[in-house]
Chain A
Amino acid sequence: MISISKLLCELDAESDGLRYDAADDSNVPQITRKKQRRPVVVWNTTKRCNLYCSHCYASADTEALPNELSTAEGKALLDQLADFGVPVVLFSGGEPLIREDLSELVAYAAEQGIRPVLSTNGTLLTREAARELKEAGLKYAGVSVDGLADRNDEFRGKDGAFEAAVRGIEACLDVGLKTGLRYTITKYNDDDLEGVIDLLTDVGVDRFCFYHLDYGGRGADILDADLTPDEKRAAIRTLCDLTREYHDRGEEIETLLVGNYADAGFLVEYAREELGEQRADRIETYLRRNGGDPTGERVADVDPIGNVHLNQFWQGYTLGNVRDRPFGELWSDETNPLLTALRNRTQHLKGRCGTCQYQDICRGGSRLRALAVHDDLFAPDPQCYLTDEEIGIETAGIESSGYPEAHGD
């Protein structure tokens, strides 16, 4: 997750050094140099959903799986996560609000010292539900919207989904539950970016999280909906420009990017062009500490029946099941060659990713996309949109790598 707003608008070029503040509910000392050592865990609490979105990585459907974790098992999972030192659990789905025990699980996570946050389509978020979740200890609700009304409803497979999601956002704001937008950028909706930010800012939203399409679940069936590298570059530039315009007007919206760490290199290049060399260097320093793509390291996923995955999009491979082994054992099992390779991935990366000058702030981007397109775990991320010049390599070297060029100008 890369914060455009913090990097471009809130870092003061006059001061020295950067630091992270611990989150507001943490009682541990502030960390200045260490990377996060335990993963944020996405828990897909159910496969059931009241919508049917074209890009759903969890392939959610109308029916729950027959063997989903029960309430007691869910609490046992949260115990496992707490014992391992997991800082945050993101309750996701399917649609997590369909689970009748959601507030109970949220409260239990909070009691164990794990920060509970929510990913929802928002359509079931009544004011009562929002209040109950807030009282249970929920810290944040991210509501998915994928375009203005017509495009969103078509993408999400239900008329009225946009209006219902906006009502859900308003319900959160009414009860004082922090909320924000989740938006997956595709060919279907990149024209709506500005309109959605404008509209939801008027509603009162000040946090906007933009996802690149990853190639897992139903997302793997709509690769043609993904933006070309040139289109990605244009979309991210639009978001950078918009963020700065808002901040210049005194509206301090928070904008974030997820799912394509080419964005890290792009932000450095953008800052160099727009804000100067010194600011660009500072941004690169921050991004280096952030560490690049977190798959298999700082993000993990547990699906509805307890399978542990390398991230939420990579549902086709599982490390094991929390019913068989505790989460911490699975995540720490250094005999697993895939897990170990991902944690040392820079030794294995090939082609453009192997020699990229932004390797330490990107770490090869999405290995799942490389696998989906090139059938090679260590091939270049096909959706890197940085130019050869930007990543500091000779074109001749790329051609000899045997992978098609994906970058644009």
Chain B
Amino acid sequence: MADHVRREAYESQTGTIDVVEKTRRAGTHEPRGTTEPQWEVFVREREGDPMTHVGAIAAPDPEIAHEQASKLFSWYGRDIWVCPANAVTRFSAHEMAAGGDSETDEEHGSSEAIPAGENEPRVYEETEGTPNVRQG
């Protein structure tokens, strides 16, 4: 019996009430690669540190994946692991929210509100239609 099934059976028998809200996690096995296979990269900075996920790289096989990852992270970490991204099934409480009503498709996700970001000042330096630079 799976743990969560066993736990629910126990709770229904004993009337135990959860005081901590359970996190709902949706799973996905959708590809995260574009053309080449993707490899999730993990590094350990020092002996005794945990492995840390540091992104993913595109490479045709694990040897080249390791080579590419080493170019990016060998200056930083002592251990580098790569794992095929398609071997990872992702379970996450984050669900990509639906952005308003779509006229083109109806594949809406959760409409959960996202907290408003900081009201940062904006300067348009790196885009088409750059600001005017003039004398002050």
User: Which residues on A are within 8 Å of B, measured CB to CB?
Assistant: 1, 3, 6-7, 10-12, 15-23, 26, 28-29, 31-32, 34-40, 47, 59, 65-67, 70-80, 82-85, 87-88, 90, 100-101, 104, 108, 111, 115, 117, 119, 139-140, 142, 178, 180, 207, 209, 256, 286, 290-291, 294, 298-299, 303-307, 315-326, 328, 335-338, 341, 348, 371, 375-378
User: Which residues on B are within 8 Å of A, measured CB to CB?
Assistant: 28, 30-32, 34-35, 38, 43, 45, 52, 54-59, 68, 71-73, 75-77, 90, 92, 94, 96-100, 102-109, 114-136
The answer to whether B56 and A318 touch across the interface, beta carbons within 8 angstroms, is yes
Taking the closest CB of chain A, its distance from the CB of B25, in whole angstroms, is 12
Taking the closest CB of chain B, its distance from the CB of A208, in whole angstroms, is 12
Knowing A85-B122, A88-B127 are in contact, say whether A341-B134 is a contact too (CB < 8 A): no
A324 to B122, CA, bound (A): 27
The answer to whether B128 and A305 touch across the interface, beta carbons within 8 angstroms, is no
Taking the closest CB of chain B, its distance from the CB of A119, in whole angstroms, is 8
A348 to B38, CA, bound (A): 27
Chain B residue at smallest Cβ distance from A308: B55
Which 8 pairs across A and B sit closest by C-beta, in order of nearness?
A75-B99, A15-B135, A19-B136, A101-B104, A87-B122, A83-B117, A71-B104, A76-B99
A371 to B115, CA, bound (A): 38
Taking the closest CB of chain A, its distance from the CB of B110, in whole angstroms, is 9
Knowing A19-B136, A76-B98, A323-B30 are in contact, say whether A298-B125 is a contact too (CB < 8 A): yes
Q: Which residues in B have their C-beta under 8 angstroms from that of A1?
A: 125-127, 130
Q: Which residues in A have their C-beta under 8 angstroms from that of B116?
A: 83
Chain B residue at smallest Cβ distance from A78: B99
The answer to whether A22 and B97 touch across the interface, beta carbons within 8 angstroms, is no
Knowing A298-B126, A322-B96, A324-B92 are in contact, say whether A17-B136 is a contact too (CB < 8 A): yes
Kindly identify which residue among A17, A299, A305 contacts B126, using a CB–CB cutoff of 8 Å: A299
A321 to B29, CA, bound (A): 13
The answer to whether B126 and A40 touch across the interface, beta carbons within 8 angstroms, is yes
The answer to whether B135 and A18 touch across the interface, beta carbons within 8 angstroms, is yes
Taking the closest CB of chain A, its distance from the CB of B82, in whole angstroms, is 12
The answer to whether B77 and A337 touch across the interface, beta carbons within 8 angstroms, is yes
The answer to whether A20 and B109 touch across the interface, beta carbons within 8 angstroms, is no
The answer to whether A72 and B108 touch across the interface, beta carbons within 8 angstroms, is yes
A305 to B85, CA, bound (A): 14
Q: A73-B107, A87-B124 are in contact. List 19 more A-B contacts (CB 8 A).
A: A3-B130, A3-B133, A6-B132, A23-B129, A26-B124, A72-B102, A73-B109, A76-B96, A76-B109, A79-B99, A90-B127, A101-B104, A108-B100, A290-B125, A299-B126, A307-B34, A321-B32, A325-B92, A338-B54
Counting chain A CB atoms within 10 Å of each CB, the highest count among B72, B104, B105 belongs to B104
Knowing A47-B34, A71-B102, A317-B56 are in contact, say whether A337-B73 is a contact too (CB < 8 A): yes
Q: Which residues in A have their C-beta under 8 angstroms from that of B68?
A: 316-317
Kindly identify which residue among A6, A139, A377 contacts B129, using a CB–CB cutoff of 8 Å: A139
